[in-house]
Structure 1
């Protein structure tokens, strides 16, 4: 059974997008050129409350492609076991840490 993480408050669960490290013909890219700080939003929390108790919703939604800061976020591993081959790595960010959304 796979675990499902539902973020609290203004947290956003993101799966980082890893660009390819080589071309189809086998040419390797330099490490710096393959680093793109973007990810896909997997889940969002409900938001935080202001001083009057009203909920301020999170600004991104599930499925958005977002631009992430170079450092930050809390790594979360979800899977059946620690040694599980299918274990996936996600990152939790606060809504205000996300730099923007990417559109095509």
Structure 2
């Protein structure tokens, strides 16, 4: 699958601005393309559980970084995905 990193905020919750040199690469991304699936040990095609448009969490050293049409992207296996972020869970309800 092909993933685009989602950049983290440049400020902390306390309002401290984080310089570029101190930032770590984000381990959150958006799936922008997937293949047909992976083959299991019996040679059968297993479809992926991740869909295009999903926001995912992945390990710090997951995948292979590439540059395509001026964008920094990551090619990775579904096994590198630690979890899918549900959009509804990240929204705060107005009080």
TM-score range relative to shorter protein: 0.7 to 0.9
What does residue 84 of structure 1 align with? none
Please say if 1:78 is aligned against 2:82: no
* Cα shift at 1:100: 0.7
State how many pairs are aligned: 83
**Partner of residue 3 from structure 2, selected from 5, 11, 14:** 14
Give unpaired runs (5+ residues) of structure 2.
88-95
* Over 2 Å off, 4+ runs: 29-32, 49-54
Report the TM-score, using the length of structure 1 for normalisation: 0.67
Give the alignment's TM-score, normalised by structure 2.
0.73
Over 3 Å counting, the alpha-carbon distance change for 1:61 and 1:29 in structure 2 is: same
Q: Indicate the RMSD between aligned Cα atoms, in angstroms.
A: 2.4
Q: In structure 2, what is the Cα distance between the partners aligned to 1:16 and 1:98?
A: 13
Q: Are the counterparts in 1 of residues 57 and 84 from structure 2 also a CA contact under 8 Å? A: yes
Q: Pick the aligned partner of 2:52 from 51, 62, 66.
A: 62
Q: Aligned match of 2:77 in 63, 82, 94?
A: 94
Unaligned runs of 5+ in 1: 1-11, 80-86
